[in-house]
């Protein structure tokens, strides 16, 4: 009985995976934060984690501003999702584009996300980030030395977040 349950569960995930694998159109129904979204494809809701970037957490400086900017840009709109795989949180890791423009590029060039160099080798994002820093756009408002990357923010407890991650606010 347990084995049958495992096969049914595995079958469900394989069917779901086949449907989200590759490129598809979906409607954004919720922006969770700057780089994570819920989407609707047919009757199926799934969560997408945008590849190549890391946006501030919502409780982090500029987190709400990044989320609001993405909300205005994609909420309720149909986007193209080019999926790669599922991550450990069962989110679809994907590239997303709207009106033919890559969302990762839009976020980085407007200063609402970091180029996630640990997981991305897109050289153009590094260039866009450098330009956003030089123009003091978005989270770079106070300069490159005054920001706390989300990976650092997530690794700290509340006391250390307050100490090391509040140098600049929007």
User: Catalytic residue positions?
Assistant: 49, 57, 91
Alpha-carbon distance of 16 to 95, in angstroms, equals 18
The answer for residues whose C-beta is within 8 angstroms of residue 26's C-beta and 6 or more apart is 39, 40, 41, 46, 48, 78, 79, 81
Length of the chain: 170
Residue 66 main-chain phi, psi, to 5 deg: -65, -45
């Amino acid at each position: 009985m347990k084995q049958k349950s495992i096969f049914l569960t595995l079958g469900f995930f394989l069917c779901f995976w086949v449907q989200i694998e590759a490129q598809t159109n979906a409607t954004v129904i919720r922006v969770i934060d700057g780089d994570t979204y819920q989407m609707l494809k047919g009757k199926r809701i799934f969560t997408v984690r945008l590849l190549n970037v890391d946006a501030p957490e919502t409780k982090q400086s500029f987190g709400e501003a990044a989320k609001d900017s993405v909300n205005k840009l994609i909420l309720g709109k149909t986007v193209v999702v080019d999926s790669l795989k599922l991550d450990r949180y069962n989110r679809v890791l994907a590239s997303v584009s709207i009106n033919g423009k890559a969302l990762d590029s839009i976020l980085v060039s407007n200063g609402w996300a970091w180029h996630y160099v640990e997981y991305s080798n897109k050289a153009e994002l590094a260039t866009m980030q450098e330009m956003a820093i030089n123009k003091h756009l978005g989270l770079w408002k106070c300069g490159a030395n005054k920001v706390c990357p989300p990976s650092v923010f997530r690794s700290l407890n509340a006391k250390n977040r307050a100490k090391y991650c509040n140098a600049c606010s929007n």
